[in-house]
Chain A
Amino acid sequence: MPMYQVKPVSGSHMKTDLPTCMYALPNVHALQNGEVEPAVKALEARQDEIMRKLYELKAAVEGLAKTVTTPDADLDLTVSSSLSSQSPTSTTFRGITDLDTLLGKDLGALRDIVINANPAQPPLTLLVLHSVLCQRYRVLSSVHVHSSASSVPPQLLSCLGPRHPDSYARQMFQLGFTLIWKDVPKLQMKFRVQNMCPIEGEANVARFLFKLLSPYPSDPAVATLVDSWVDTAFFQLAEGSAKERATVLRALNAALGRSPWLAGPEFSLADIACYCCLLQSASVSSAPTNVERWIKACENLGHFGPAKLHLK
């Protein structure tokens, strides 16, 4: 939609004498004024349709696989699909994301994400996101202990799972995930030290990592909703008082009554953050019905294994 419309300054039928010593080129603006080439449009539509079908198929197969592997999985799909007309098929993350477009050009070396975390507060969300990242990319994960951290419990040393059998060749990986247990007041991520300042706070790092998995919703309202849920999770659920937590639980319950996931029909970072913080604040037992159902649904996704492992 054009913002301003200006009347033509001169008559549109003016005849100009063009010199003959120049080449004549077709008008490159013609397409913009008119419509996009219909053939291209049709092709795009066809591709979108094919992709959509493919995703539905993939989701259906995964749903089936889950019903086979986990005993009470049927809760997930059936209950939530009865809630909304749209079936929440996306248990894996949508959108084709390419690391080159996301993180800038390839320099021929491993892109290593360094996360400094305090062993007193293991970042559960990041552990979850790590395991999802591992399903998507070839991730070289390593855990280190910084000399400033004293006595790190052994289960934290193996929190990123067993060592990759190919871990001796760093060049074979797309992404490095280096978790350093360090005496830091606030969780910190360092990625490109040359042109990025260190990112502080688990919530912000989680947002960054999630964008590597799927683009944020294009609708600004939904994107903001996701962000606000993430903030709520980290500031009110994880750190808040009992009273605040109760308020959040009520809000969660209301939101989950309207849609299967927190930010609508799609599983998003909001769900990961709220689930992990809920787990950490140990208020799972007092959860209202919608929240309880949502917790089960989250657990059925199978992403939260690493987080539950470190809840002690």
Chain B
Amino acid sequence: MTKEEAPGATEEEQQAQSKKGLKKQQKEAEKAAKKAEKQAKLAADQQSTEEDDFAKDRYGVSAMVQSQHKLDRVLVRVQDLTPAKADQLIWLRARVHTSRAKGKQCFLVLRQQQFNLQALVAVGDRASKQMVKFAANITKESIVDVEAFVRTVEQKIESCSQQDVELHIERIFVVSQAEPRLPLQLEDAARPDGEGEEEGRATVNQDTKLDNRVIDLRTTTSQAIFRLQSGVCQLFRDTLTEKGFVEIQTPKIISAASEGGANVFTVSYFKTSAYLAQSPQLYKQMCICGDFDKVFCVGPVFRAEDSNTHRHLTEFVGLDIEMSFNYHYHEVIDSITDTMVQIFKGLRDNFQTEIQTVNKQFPSEPFKFLEPTLRLEYTEAVAMLHEAGVEMGDEEDLSTPNEKLLGRLVKEKYDTDFYVLDKYPLAVRPFYTMPDPNNPKYSNSYDMFMRGEEILSGAQRVHDAQLLTDRAKHHQIDLEKIKAYIDSFRYGAPPHGGGGIGLERVCMLYLGLHNIRQTSMFPRDPKRLTP
């Protein structure tokens, strides 16, 4: 029974299979026919479009710019496109921020640095269907040249910086094509903290941003941060130059560590070794001895501290000041604080757009300061902390949490984010700090704080070779190593003082950001050496 049935079944199966196979074949044939038909149609279409694409020379990928031609074409900046330019025909070079095709229209958002505006390609007597399709297919971040009419819009375009106008594109050429896949999306990188989580959208973490710094730098926030940073440098230079300071350049490869021995980078220097400068301290002081009177210096500073915190970098830009004074080191404090206030004022008055832009992603309170700057003494600060219930010794250094708490207390009472703390205990300062004449426990040294974090540390320096030797001995420093430094004070040295500011820290704290890597273009820390 089973034997008979089995072949019968197989036969049936075979029959069924062949039936199925037939059907399959039939279907495939149908499919192929359809495909062929479609291809033929497409080809015909293409042919026909190629034939009647009247706008063929109005779009495309232009040849690589190898400087063959020097066109007399004027490229307008995006930020200049206002209703005043309405109905003009202009040329523009910008990046494609986003594109969105919708039937016979294609909307593009064109971006130039922190400014963007909406552009539109629509099928009509100037643009063909193919042109719209081409525009829609331009990859994000590609650079395009666009000829377009500026038109005012009835309703404000909320998503763009130029809200009152849009562009009606006449011609569009791709100058540089971006790869279709970006390692991160600009929208995601520029999204305010917390907002992405609510909407279930992606956010980009700090490390990914830094790994793809070039793209991250294109975000409006980054653009604004580094424009403001440049402003800080500029204002620093301008203010000091006006005060009669001289800008100096100092070597960064030095033979001896200036501040303690441990945290310096050693580099091999032919047959011996050298160090990377922790601060231009010694050279600034030597310039004072060389009768330069008032000097400043903007340049890289290296710290080999293995600390991975939100405010430490291994290489940063130091803004250093050193000046001789007449009778009291407060002349130096006044000069430095005034410079800082000028910087804050300059930023407040000239960089309001940038500040607002950064605030959109990283909201913070506006920076507040007093003029003249508030100066408190160390004992006062200790008293304030005591009153707030902190237990600390009179000659103890301020710990970071105490610094922050003090910052809050000062802000509460005086409503300022910037203040000077004067008269630090001598024991916690470097050997070249001048002791206080009235109380040998204290010193003529000061720190400056922004939003409760230290940005500048300075002091009156010892300009007397003998006292300097004594102080160095007291700190158990090898006199042989700093002989050249001490010797420079033997031949008459004016009383002087100064301090050094970290540019990145100033920017970070002014904008109320939380990580110094945001204000360093290519940050260096113990774990990051690239890009």
Which residues of A pack against B, CB within 8 Å?
107-110, 112, 114, 116, 142, 144-148, 168-171, 178, 180, 182, 190, 192-194
Take A108-B379, A108-B383, A168-B328 as given contacts and tell me if A144 and B372 are in contact as well, using a CB distance cutoff of 8 Å.
yes
Of B375, B414, B438, the contact of A180 (CB 8 Å cutoff):
B414
User: Bound complex: CA of A169 vs CA of B330, how far in Å?
Assistant: 10
Q: Are B414 and A170 in contact (CB under 8 A)?
A: no
Report B-chain residues with C-beta under 8 Å of the C-beta of A180: 370, 414-415
Nearest-CB residue, chain A, relative to B371:
A145
Chain B residues, Cβ within 8 Å of A192: 387
| Interface CB pairs A-B, < 8 A, 27 | A109-B379, A109-B383, A109-B384, A114-B413, A114-B414, A142-B372, A144-B372, A144-B374, A145-B370, A146-B415, A146-B416, A147-B344, A147-B348, A147-B366, A147-B367, A147-B368, A147-B370, A168-B328, A169-B438, A170-B377, A178-B414, A180-B415, A182-B415, A190-B412, A192-B387, A193-B409, A194-B387
B382 interface residue per 8 A CB criterion: yes
B478 to chain A, nearest CB (A): 36
Is residue B28 contacting chain A, with contact meaning CB distance below 8 A? no
> Is B32 an interface residue when CB atoms closer than 8 A count as contact?
no
B392 CB within 8 Å of chain A: no
Other contacts beyond A146-B370, A147-B367: 17, CB < 8 A: A107-B387, A110-B380, A114-B414, A142-B372, A144-B370, A144-B374, A146-B368, A146-B416, A147-B344, A147-B348, A147-B369, A147-B370, A147-B371, A148-B368, A169-B438, A180-B414, A190-B413
Find out whether the CB atom of A171 lies under 8 angstroms from the CB atom of B372. Answer: no
- B328, B368, B388, B414 — which one has the most chain A CB atoms within 10 A of its CB? B414
Closest Cβ of chain B to A134, distance in Å, is: 20
B386 at interface by CB-CB < 8 Å? yes
Which residues of B does A touch, CB under 8 Å? 328, 330, 344-345, 348, 366-372, 374-377, 379-380, 382-384, 386-388, 409, 412-416, 438
A-B pair count, CB < 8 Å, reads 64
C-alpha gap A146/B414 in the complex (Å): 9
For A193, give its contact among B375, B376, B412 (CB under 8 Å).
Answer: B412
Minimum-distance CB pairs A-B, first 3: A109-B383, A144-B370, A109-B380
Shortest Cβ distance from A170 into B: residue = B377
Most chain B CB inside 10 Å of its own CB: which residue of A146, A147, A171, A182 = A147
Contacts of A182 in B (CB 8 A): 415
CB distance from B98 to the nearest CB of A (A): 38
B382 pairs with A109, CB closer than 8 A = yes
**Min C-beta distance of B125 to chain A, whole Å:** 55
- Chain B residues lying within 8 Å of A193, measured Cβ to Cβ, are 409, 412-413
What residues of B have a CB within 8 angstroms of the CB of A194 in the complex?
A: 387-388
* A262 CB to nearest chain B CB (Å): 34
CA of A110 to CA of B366, assembled, Å: 29
How far is B416's CA from A182's CA once the two chains are assembled, in angstroms? 11
Contacts of B414 in A (CB 8 A): 114, 178, 180, 190
B163 CB → nearest A CB, Å: 28
CB pair B328–A170 under 8 Å, yes or no, is: no
Q: Given that A109-B379, A147-B367, A194-B388 are contacting pairs, would A116 and B374 also be in contact in the complex, using a CB cutoff of 8 Å?
A: no
